[in-house]
C-alpha cells in the first residue's frame, strides 16, 4: 500500500529524533512508596533485631541483602539505629548499599542514585503523621532538600510496618552540595556525629574547633556585634527559619535534632542548617522544663520547673524552647530577638492556611494509603501507642486546625513584639 506523508509532519519527525529525551529516565517505572524494602537476613538475625533492646549495632556475618522493586542489592552496612526505637520491636535502620539504588526524585524531576539512607520506624508517633507534616513545612520554606517518602519495611517478608525513607543527609550534603564538613549537634553543644568531605579529612579537627568556637563567643558579645559574629559562622537566616518552624509545631525534641554543613554564603564558608528527626512535635511543654540535664551550660546551670520559670528568665518570647544556649541568647538579647522576629514573620506569612492544607492533604494521601493494609497498621501494637484509621483521621483534623490557630496567634503576638 502506498501513502503520501505530509512534508511538514516528516520534517517534525526528523527534528524530534535529534531531541534529548525527557529528564525522567524511563528505566524507573515504579512508585517507590508502593514498593517494599525487604531485607533478607538469617532467622537468628531477624529474631535478634526484634528482640534486642537499647543496643545500636550492625548486622554482619552474613551481610544481609535488600530486595526492592524486583531487584536484589548487596549491602555494605545495615545498622540498627535510632535513640528511641532501639527500645522497641520495630527498629530503625541505617543502610549503606554496595550498588546504588536508582530512584526518580519528583522534587528534582530527575533520577538520582542513592547509596546511603535511613528508614525511620516512627514508633513514638501514634498516627505516623508528624514527620510528614514537619518535612512538608520545611519544604515550604526551602529547608528540606533531601529526598524522602513513606514505605513498608520487611525482614524476610515479615512486615515491620510503616517507615519513613530519608536519604542520608551527611551523604547528601557532601556528595550533592560539596560540603567540606557536616556535623550533628548534641546536648550542651557536644558533637554527636561529624565527617569531612573527600580529601578534606585532615581538616576535620579544625572544623570541629571552629564549630565549638560558636559557643565560646556567646558570652563575649551582644547586640549587632553578636549578630555579625554569629553570622560569620552560621547562616543565621536558616537558623532563624528552623526556630520559626519549631515555634509553630511546638517541637519538643530540640537541641540534638539539627545538622550543620558547610556552604558558601556571600563569598565565605558558613554553616548551613538542616532539621532532623521531628518525631516529637505538638508537645505539651518545652523540653527544658523539669529536664535540667537538657539545658546548655555556657551561661551556667539553668533549671526550669515550669513555664513561669522560663518567662521569669527570658520573658514571654516567641521561641518554643530555650534549652540550647544559642537559642537562649537569641531570646535574651533584644537585637538578636528582633532579627529572629523578622524571619519568624516572613515564615508565618509563607505558611498560610493554604500551605497548611497542602501539607495535610499530602499527608492524608500518602500516609492514609498505608492504613488500607491491616498487616502494616497492626505493627503499631509494638509502638509506644497503637493506632487505627479512626485515630489517624481525627488526629489529622485536630492538628490541621491547631496549626492554623497557632499561626493566627503567632501573627497577633508578632504585632505586639516587633519593633516597628
SS3 275: strand
Q: Whole-angstrom Cα distance, residue 244 to residue 351?
A: 11
76-81 long-range contacts, CB within 8 A, separation 24+: 78/39, 80/49, 80/52, 80/55, 80/56, 81/56, 81/118
pLDDT of residue 373: 97
Q: pTM of this prediction?
A: 0.91
Residue 180 near residue 210 (C-beta atoms within 8 A)? no
Rounding to the nearest 10 degrees, give the CA dihedral for residues 4, 5, 6, 7. -110
What does the alpha-carbon distance between residue 131 and residue 23 come to, in Å, rounded to a whole number? 29
> What are 380's three cell numbers?
503499631
Mean pLDDT by 10 residues, the chain (420 residues): 41 43 47 94 98 97 97 97 92 96 92 96 96 97 97 98 97 97 95 95 96 97 98 98 97 89 97 92 93 95 96 97 97 98 98 98 97 97 97 98 98 92
Q: Which helix (H) or strand (E) holds 167?
A: strand 158-167
pLDDT for 254:
78
By the 8 A CB rule, do 374 and 274 touch?
Answer: no
Per-residue cell: 321:
524552647
For residue 92, list its beta bridge partners.
81
What pLDDT shows up at residue 26? 44
Residue 420: predicted pLDDT: 65
Q: Is 174 helix (H, G, I), strand (E, B) or coil?
A: helix
CA distance 164 to 3: 56
pLDDT reported for residue 395: 98
Supply the pLDDT for residue 74. 97
Amino acid at each position: 500500500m502506498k501513502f503520501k506523508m505530509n512534508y511538514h509532519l516528516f520534517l517534525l519527525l526528523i527534528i524530534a529524533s535529534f531531541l534529548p529525551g525527557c529528564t525522567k529516565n524511563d528505566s524507573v517505572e515504579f512508585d517507590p512508596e508502593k514498593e517494599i524494602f525487604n531485607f533478607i537476613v538469617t532467622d537468628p538475625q531477624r529474631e535478634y533485631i526484634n528482640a534486642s533492646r537499647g543496643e545500636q549495632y550492625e548486622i554482619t556475618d552474613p551481610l544481609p541483602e535488600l530486595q526492592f522493586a524486583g531487584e536484589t542489592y548487596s549491602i555494605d552496612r545495615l545498622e540498627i539505629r535510632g535513640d528511641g526505637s532501639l527500645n522497641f520491636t520495630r527498629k530503625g535502620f541505617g543502610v549503606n548499599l554496595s550498588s546504588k539504588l536508582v530512584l526518580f526524585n519528583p522534587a528534582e524531576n530527575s533520577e538520582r542514585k542513592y547509596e546511603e539512607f535511613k528508614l525511620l520506624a516512627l514508633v513514638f508517633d501514634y498516627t505516623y503523621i508528624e514527620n510528614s507534616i514537619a518535612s512538608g513545612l520545611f519544604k515550604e520554606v526551602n529547608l528540606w532538600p533531601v529526598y524522602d517518602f513513606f514505605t513498608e519495611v520487611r525482614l524476610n517478608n515479615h512486615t515491620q510496618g510503616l517507615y519513613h525513607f530519608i536519604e542520608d543527609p551527611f551523604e547528601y550534603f557532601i556528595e550533592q552540595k560539596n560540603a567540606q564538613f557536616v556535623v550533628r549537634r548534641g546536648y550542651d553543644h557536644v558533637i554527636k556525629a561529624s565527617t569531612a568531605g573527600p580529601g578534606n579529612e585532615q581538616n576535620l579537627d579544625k572544623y570541629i574547633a571552629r564549630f565549638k568556637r560558636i559557643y565560646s563567643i556567646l558570652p563575649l558579645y551582644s547586640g549587632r556585634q553578636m549578630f555579625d559574629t554569629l553570622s560569620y559562622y552560621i547562616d543565621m537566616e536558616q537558623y532563624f527559619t528552623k526556630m520559626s518552624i519549631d515555634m509553630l509545631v511546638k517541637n519538643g525534641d530540640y537541641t540534638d535534632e539539627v545538622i550543620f554543613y558547610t556552604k558558601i554564603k556571600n563569598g565565605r564558608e558558613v554553616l548551613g542548617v538542616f532539621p532532623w528527626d521531628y518525631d516529637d512535635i505538638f508537645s505539651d511543654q518545652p523540653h527544658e522544663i523539669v529536664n535540667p540535664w537538657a539545658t546548655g551550660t555556657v551561661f551556667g546551670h539553668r533549671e526550669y520547673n515550669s513555664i513561669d520559670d522560663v518567662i521569669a528568665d527570658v520573658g514571654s518570647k516567641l521561641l518554643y524552647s530555650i534549652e540550647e544556649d544559642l537559642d537562649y541568647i537569641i531570646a535574651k538579647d533584644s537585637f538578636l530577638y528582633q532579627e529572629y522576629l523578622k524571619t519568624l514573620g516572613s515564615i508565618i506569612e509563607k505558611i498560610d492556611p493554604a500551605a497548611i492544607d497542602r501539607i495535610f492533604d499530602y499527608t492524608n494521601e500518602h500516609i492514609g494509603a498505608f492504613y488500607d493494609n491491616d498487616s502494616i497498621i497492626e505493627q503499631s501494637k509494638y509502638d509506644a501507642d497503637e493506632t487505627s484509621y479512626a485515630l489517624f483521621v481525627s488526629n489529622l483534623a485536630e492538628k490541621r486546625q491547631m496549626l492554623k490557630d497557632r499561626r493566627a496567634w503567632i501573627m497577633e503576638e508578632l504585632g505586639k513584639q516587633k519593633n516597628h
